[in-house]
Structure 1
Amino acid sequence: MTSPDQSPLGKASAYADRYDASLLFPIPRADKRAELGIQGASPFFGADLWTAYELSWLNTRGKPQVALAHFTVPCETPNIIESKSLKLYLGSFSNTPFESVDAVRAHLRTDLSEAVWRGSDQPATIGVRVLGPELFDREPVHELDGLSLDRLDLECTHYQPAPELLTAAFDEAPVTEVLTSNLLKSNCLVTGQPDWGAVQVSYSGPQIDQAGLLRYIVSFRNHNEFHEQCVERMFMDIWRRCRPVKLTVYARYTRRGGLDINPWRTSHPGAVPANVRTARQ
């Protein structure tokens, strides 16, 4: 069993420049989910959408190649990958020759899939897209769609998760809304370094008090948890306290170490959102 304090986070690290899959450090999802009262099957579907901006290797003639990579990791995987270990792993490609971009993609899919599914009796593969420079200009920038909660002029006094701030109008007609905020901030579980993000809450059901929801989002400001865990905490708090019929929580965090992580959790099956970065990413 691996734990965050055993990861490379917050420690001096040697930066390998030769391919080394053993650098990947998986962390089980189960412990943090147990804190949220999730036992066994999760009450949500979803995925973690990663973008890697610092991917490079050598071709067979020793010429450097560069690319972007998108990874789609289902939330059903038993593990997440600690982000610094993924940075170190990707860095290990930098002086390693590969025959083709297809060979690079195959290594990424095999190695990352093994790490996130490690310990499962039904392992599968993750989604991997590798985009060469000829496709860079097609990568869009777009803000999360929805009504911005940040327009509200209100006082905020909570800076640790405060689900009691969440209320809904259970005695009124249900609504369908998409609400967004750019005021999400949390901190790394291990190092305490700030993680900046934007969040989108889509739901159908009793109308959620928007001021309370914004204050709740702000309340993560001094909270130490990984991105994936913050989004699952938000989902469970809203699901339990506001009792929507349908709920989706999607966050896009700014990159660190050439990586951004964008967790998406939803109560109902549906298409995974396109991995489109926001301006701050």
Structure 2
Amino acid sequence: MNQPEQSQLGKASAYTDRYDASLLFPIPRATKRAEIGIEATPPFLGADLWTAFELSWLNERGKPQVALAHITVPCETPNIVESKSFKLYLNSFNSTRFASAQDVQARIRADISEAAWRGAEHPGTVGVRLTLPEQFDREPVHELDGLSLDRLDIECTQYQPAPELLRAHFDEAPVSEVLVSHLLKSNCLVTGQPDWGSLRIAYSGPQIDQEGLLQYIVSFRDHNEFHEQCVERIFMDLWTRCKPIKLEVYARYTRRGGLDINPWRTSHPQQLPLNTRTARQ
């Protein structure tokens, strides 16, 4: 079983520009899920939405090609793919010849699917979509919709996850709200490098105290965990402490090394959010 400290994170790495799928480093989701009380089937659905901004290869005549890649990894996969290994893998396309963009798309889908589903009894596939240069100006920039929690003038004193800050009004009528904050910050599990993100929480149920919720979001500031793990921790803390009827948690993290990772978790089946980047991404 791969462990985060065994990855290339925080280590000097040799960059290869020849295709090499073995560079991908899957890490099991189960270990971190067990820490937040998930021992079997999680109480959520969802996916991790990746955007790769630095994808290039050679056509059959040796001419460089470029594209953006949008990758959708279902949260049902037993593994996440460590992001630096993903970057090294994409770099291995740089001097590799492919007949078409469709061949590149198919290769990425096959390789990421194998890594993400490795060890699964019934492996599936990930989604991959390429955006070519003639389509670049169709890529929108849009902020997360919802009521901003950041408007609140609060005192913050806790910078490790503090679920005790979460409170809900169980003696009042249920509500439906969409709340957003740009103050999410956590750190890489291995290197401690800062990860910056915006967070959208949509729920129906007992009204969640907004000041406590914002203090809770800020409490991740010194916490070391991968993006996917932070979002699942936030989901589980809200699910168990505030007991919503429905809950959706969506984070959009700023890119590092040409990649952004945007985990989305929901308590009920619904359409995936659009993989639309925010201004900071």
Q: TM-score range by the shorter chain?
A: over 0.9
Residue 163 of structure 1 is matched in structure 2 by: 163
Q: How many Å apart are 1:120 and its aligned residue?
A: 0.4
TM-score when normalising by structure 1: 1.00
Deviations, residues 153-205 of structure 1 (Å, cap 9, x unaligned): 11000100000000000000000000000000000000000000000000000
Q: How many angstroms apart in 1 are the aligned matches of 2:37 and 2:210?
A: 26
Letter in 1 for 2:242: C
Q: How many angstroms apart in 2 are the aligned matches of 1:102 and 1:244?
A: 43
Determine helix, strand or coil for the equivalent of 2:73.
strand
Q: How many angstroms apart in 2 are the aligned matches of 1:156 and 1:74?
A: 34
Q: How many Å apart are 1:40 and its aligned residue?
A: 1.1
Report whether the alignment pairs 1:53 with 2:53. yes
Q: How many angstroms apart in 2 are the aligned matches of 1:92 and 1:181?
A: 36
Count of aligned positions: 281
Q: How many Å apart are 1:121 and its aligned residue?
A: 1.0
Q: How many Å apart are 1:78 and its aligned residue?
A: 0.0
The percentage of aligned residue pairs carrying the same residue is: 77
Determine helix, strand or coil for the equivalent of 1:54.
strand
Letter in 1 for 2:279: A
Q: How many Å apart are 1:222 and its aligned residue?
A: 0.1
Residue 103 of structure 2 is matched in structure 1 by: 103
Residue 150 of structure 2 is matched in structure 1 by: 150
Alignment root-mean-square deviation, CA: 0.3
Residue 72 of structure 2 is matched in structure 1 by: 72
Q: How many angstroms apart in 2 are the aligned matches of 1:42 and 1:218?
A: 25
Residue 197 of structure 1 is matched in structure 2 by: 197
Residue 261 of structure 1 is matched in structure 2 by: 261
Determine helix, strand or coil for the equivalent of 2:106.
helix
Q: How many Å apart are 1:17 and its aligned residue?
A: 0.2
Residue 236 of structure 1 is matched in structure 2 by: 236
Q: How many angstroms apart in 2 are the aligned matches of 1:133 and 1:238?
A: 41
Q: How many Å apart are 1:250 and its aligned residue?
A: 0.2
Report whether the alignment pairs 1:184 with 2:181. no
Determine helix, strand or coil for the equivalent of 2:103.
helix
Q: How many angstroms apart in 1 are the aligned matches of 2:174 and 2:120?
A: 40
Give unmatched runs, 5+ long, in structure 2: none
Q: How many Å apart are 1:9 and its aligned residue?
A: 0.3
TM-score when normalising by structure 2: 1.00
Q: How many angstroms apart in 1 are the aligned matches of 2:71 and 2:65?
A: 19
Q: How many angstroms apart in 2 are the aligned matches of 1:92 and 1:51?
A: 17
